[in-house]
Amino acid sequence: MEKGLLKLLKTPWIVLAVCFAITLVFFLQMKEKSRLETDLDKYMPQEHPAFVYSTMAEEWFGIKDGIIFALENENGIYNTETLDTLKQLTKRLQKLQQINKSDVNSLYTADNIIGTEEGLDVKAFFKRVPKTPEALNQIQQNVRTNEMIYGRLVSESETVTLIVAELEDGVFSQEFYDEILALAASCQTENIKIHVVGRPIVEGTLALLAPADMKKMIPIVLLVIIFVLFLALRNVKNTLLVMLVVLISTIWAFGLMAIIGIPIYAVSTMLPVMLIATGVAYGVHLYSHLEGYIRHNPDATKLEAVSDMLKVMSTPVIITAVTTAVGFGSLLTSQVYPVKYFGLFTGFGVLSAMTLSLILIPAGIMAFGLPKFKPAEGRSQLANTITAAILKYKLASIIGTAVVIVLMILGTQKLWISSSFLSKFEKDSDIVLTDKFINSHFGGTTALNLILDADGKLNTFKQPEVLRLIDDMQAALESKVPEVGTSFALTNFLKRMNKVMHEDRDEFDIIPDNQNLVAQYLLLYEMSGDPKNLVKAVNYDYSRLNVTIQLKSDGSKAINSAIDIAHTYEQEFKDLGISINFAGSGYKGLVFSDLILEGQIWSLILSIIIVIILLAIMFKNMIVGLISAVPILVTALIGFGVMGFLNIPLNATTALLSSIAVGIGIDYAVHFIYQYRRYAITSSNRLEAAQKTMAHTGRAISFNAIVVILGFLVLIFSVFPPNRELGAIVSLNMFTSFVGTLTIMLVLMYKSNIYFKNKNTKE
């Protein structure tokens, strides 16, 4: 391989021109075809059974995510100004192309089921905005006595009322998001404040903040790494060449995404930071060796210096790139699209950075001349002293590692998963505060749909015993799960109808005990009201029913608590020939988080196994493969243990932790072992080999670790808390991996006597 590269380097300007031409192609494709994915449903594997069933349920019952507009008037909503604003905003939303008129629900469009002398009637709360105190008071009384509206569309404080506009899949866009916010702002007055929230708004805000966050992160990362590189390489030309490599590799990664048609997910915005922080490692190691060669061979020509650099360093650079790519590539086992594609294109970017390092840096040296290095007295002596101290107190490394492992295992027991998309935002951000505000006044902004299926048995959900069991389950959910605010089902319609048909007496706010009476109520409603309202609650032959559970949190713990309560009724429903299933955005978010954990486990196991096998093959020794895995195993354990102790959950972002720990952390081990093996040939004993290795590659590993640590620490400036958590933990992991390589791994290499079995090993 070195010979082929050297032939190319005889024409360095052509090599540079070809690299820039390829980069231009990728850049133009990236600029033309890149797109952000704003639909969070597209983050999930659509072929997964849970998502397949949820999609069917959404079609059966018209389940859609909605944008919630909360109109707040601290003086109360029952006044002409507030009700007129409610009406006008409702009508303007109904006229939007992206929203079906019937999918906008507010006090203006809601049905008021009442009893009359003739029977049951369904009327609007108001059509014309009332102006007299009497008329306003009548609306207030009608709302207060309607359990289907009071506390659901109008807060019990009577200072807030909602408009819920449901959306079809695929209609949400950045332009529509801006239009919605502008519409809400235009309707605000001195007395009326309008809050906007809902899953589509969360998606839109993520789509808006993610690219802005990336634009902020990249310059900071570049400045930090350029500064550290200059300290390491002490040469402007060397620094610029290494930075050019990582910038081009980043463009190639995003360009390939655009060419293939893969969108940019929220987690993809971290890819530039990842590649910039990791890609510089290859240049650091190449220049570190080049510096040593030039010091020992001051009269060497450019070709001789480059030839030696490629001869000695191309193999470890390729090995580290392959193992890093394997670490990230293991994320392909995940069923979560953003994680899967992040692993794929980060792996591609890493291999691109390696290829460019072995081509662009030598070509740059051939084109612009050899770099000049300042004298560095005392460096070998320092390395010898450190190495001798580590090996003298090797028992301390072994005991210390064992103690850390035990502590971190305890920490991993506290690890938990979060499916919350709102947790991606600051706790004091507008979107979180708005969600908290609406949850404090209403049943909840997160929906979990519980689907009851009688397997085609007609009119099952007209049977009183079935309906009463459903009502009991709803009561249990609302009383036993603090995060459940309200629930809504066919039972709520029937209880309301039974009550109004008995002069609004509270004792009749129950399920009728006669199936014929249930059927009559439903027939009366279909004749008097809008039968489409029942579609969201039950199917046409009453063999399937939808219970909508409103939660005040979109986190896994809240959703799991509600599901656990529902499952306590599973046997009773089964005895009636009814099965329980779940659907909706809340449930899909929960499954999404479970898939993250499953992918995390498999990714970690697979990447470590593959890395051990690869290194065992490359170094022709299984023991070497096992020893090299020790620092990354300890590192991964430390990462998860710290997350457990600090109560940091696993989510779509922090799920990348193990692959980053394996992918990047293994680099230090590979370089150290490779050089240790090389020096073992010329050294008389293990200590000498260890000291020479530390002097040659220890410094490069140290600067490599500093660059990566500082690069990831830049993520603490991200607007997304999970990104900040990931940056801090990865930085910790890189430090522990670096320390582990130079301590416990060195001790294990020394004690195993590898490469010295046929030598006199007396120190």
* Per-residue 3-state assignment (H helix, E strand, C coil) for 501-550: CCCCCHHHCCCCCCHHHHHHHHHHHHHHCCCHHHHCCECCCCCEEEEEEE
- Residue 161 near residue 153 (C-beta atoms within 8 A): yes
Please provide the DSSP assignment of 289-303 as one string: HHHHHHHH-TT--HH
329 vs 252, which has greater pLDDT?
252
Q: Output the pLDDT for position 3.
A: 61
pLDDT above 90: percentage of residues in the chain:
39
**Average pLDDT value for residue range 180-198:** 93
Give the other-Cβ count within 10 Å of 215's Cβ.
11
Q: Is the pLDDT reported for residue 43 higher than 90?
A: no
Q: Hey, what CATH topology would domain 64-203 get?
A: Alpha-Beta Plaits (3.30.70)
Give the other-Cβ count within 10 Å of 233's Cβ.
24
Please provide the DSSP assignment of 106-161 as one string: ETTT-EEEEEETTEEEEEES-SSPP-SHHHHHHHHHHHHT-TTTBTTTB-TTSSEE
Q: Which residues pair with 655 in a beta bridge?
A: none
CA distances from 197 to 280, 434, 461, 551 (A): 42, 7, 34, 14
Q: Is the pLDDT reported for residue 278 higher than 90?
A: no
Query: How far apart are alpha carbons 592 and 608 in whole angstroms?
Result: 24
Where do the DSSP E strands lie in 682-745?
A: none
Letter string b/e over residues 133-150, b meaning 16 or more CB atoms within 10 A of that residue's CB: eebbeebbebbeebebbe
Q: Which residues pair with 121 in a beta bridge?
A: 114
**Average pLDDT value for residue range 496-523:** 92
Using DSSP bridges, classify how beta strands 193-197 and 66-72 pair: parallel, antiparallel or unpaired. antiparallel
Where residue 762 falls among pLDDT bands split at 50, 70, 90?
A: very low
Q: Could you tell me if residue 620 is left (phi over 0), alpha (psi between -120 and 50 degrees) or otherwise beta?
A: left
Measuring CA to CA, which residue among 155, 180, 185 is closest to residue 167?
A: 180
287 vs 696, which has greater pLDDT?
287
Q: Is the pLDDT reported for residue 759 higher than 60?
A: no
Q: What is the pLDDT of residues 247-277, one digit of tens each?
A: 999 999 999 999 999 988 877 877 888 888 7
**Average pLDDT value for residue range 31-37:** 83
Give the other-Cβ count within 10 Å of 593's Cβ.
25
Query: How far apart are alpha carbons 211 and 196 in whole angstroms?
Result: 22
Give the other-Cβ count within 10 Å of 108's Cβ.
23
**Average pLDDT value for residue range 281-291:** 86
Q: Which residue has the tokens 């908290």?
A: 436
**Average pLDDT value for residue range 148-168:** 93
Q: Is the pLDDT reported for residue 8 higher than 70?
A: no
Q: Could you tell me if residue 459 is left (phi over 0), alpha (psi between -120 and 50 degrees) or otherwise beta?
A: left
Domain ranges of the chain: 1-33+216-375, 64-203, 377-413+619-763, 431-585
Query: How far apart are alpha carbons 410 and 638 in whole angstroms?
Result: 10
**Helix or strand (DSSP H, E) at 484:** strand 484-488
Where residue 467 falls among pLDDT bands split at 50, 70, 90?
A: very high
**Average pLDDT value for residue range 715-741:** 87
Q: How many CA atoms lie within 13 A of 132 on its CB side?
A: 3
Q: What is the pLDDT of residues 367-382, one digit of tens each?
A: 888 877 665 555 567 8
Alpha carbon of residue 23 to chain centroid: 29
Q: What is the pLDDT of residues 415-452, one digit of tens each?
A: 887 777 788 888 888 888 999 999 999 988 899 999 99
Q: Output the pLDDT for position 292.
A: 82
Alpha carbon of residue 743 to chain centroid: 34
The side-by-side arrangement of strands in the sheet containing 484-488 is 484-488, 544-551, 446-453, 579-583
Q: Output the pLDDT for position 547.
A: 97
Alpha carbon of residue 464 to chain centroid: 44
**Average pLDDT value for residue range 348-352:** 94
Q: Output the pLDDT for position 385.
A: 87
Q: Output the pLDDT for position 6.
A: 61
Q: Output the pLDDT for position 449.
A: 96
* Amino acid identity for residue 583 in this structure: A
- Residue 510 near residue 495 (C-beta atoms within 8 A): yes
- Residue 580 near residue 566 (C-beta atoms within 8 A): yes
Q: Output the pLDDT for position 763.
A: 46
Asked if the domains at 64-203 and 377-413+619-763 fall in one CATH topology, the answer is: no
Q: Is the pLDDT reported for residue 222 higher than 90?
A: no
* Amino acid identity for residue 237 in this structure: K
pTM assigned to the model: 0.80
Q: How many CA atoms lie within 13 A of 616 on its CB side?
A: 12
Q: Which residue has the tokens 């102006």?
A: 131
- Residue 187 near residue 85 (C-beta atoms within 8 A): yes
- Residue 704 near residue 741 (C-beta atoms within 8 A): no
**Helix or strand (DSSP H, E) at 104:** strand 104-106
Q: Output the pLDDT for position 139.
A: 95
Query: How far apart are alpha carbons 536 and 544 in whole angstroms?
Result: 11
* Amino acid identity for residue 91 in this structure: K
- Residue 237 near residue 229 (C-beta atoms within 8 A): no
Count, residues in the chain: 763
Which of 157-171, 453-467, 517-531, 563-577 comes out lowest in average pLDDT? 517-531
Where residue 713 falls among pLDDT bands split at 50, 70, 90?
A: confident
- Residue 659 near residue 347 (C-beta atoms within 8 A): no
Q: Output the pLDDT for position 259.
A: 94
Q: What is the CATH number of domain 377-413+619-763?
A: 1.20.1640.10
Taking CA 69 as the corner, what is the angle to CA 63 and CA 71, rounded to the nearest 5 degrees?
145
Measuring CA to CA, which residue among 31, 53, 102 is closest to residue 264?
A: 31
> Does the domain formed by 1-33+216-375 have CATH 1.20.1640.10?
yes
HEC sequence for 190-254: CCCEEEEECHHHHHHHHHHHHHHHHHHHHHHHHHHHHHHHHHHHCCHHHHHHHHHHHHHHHHHHH
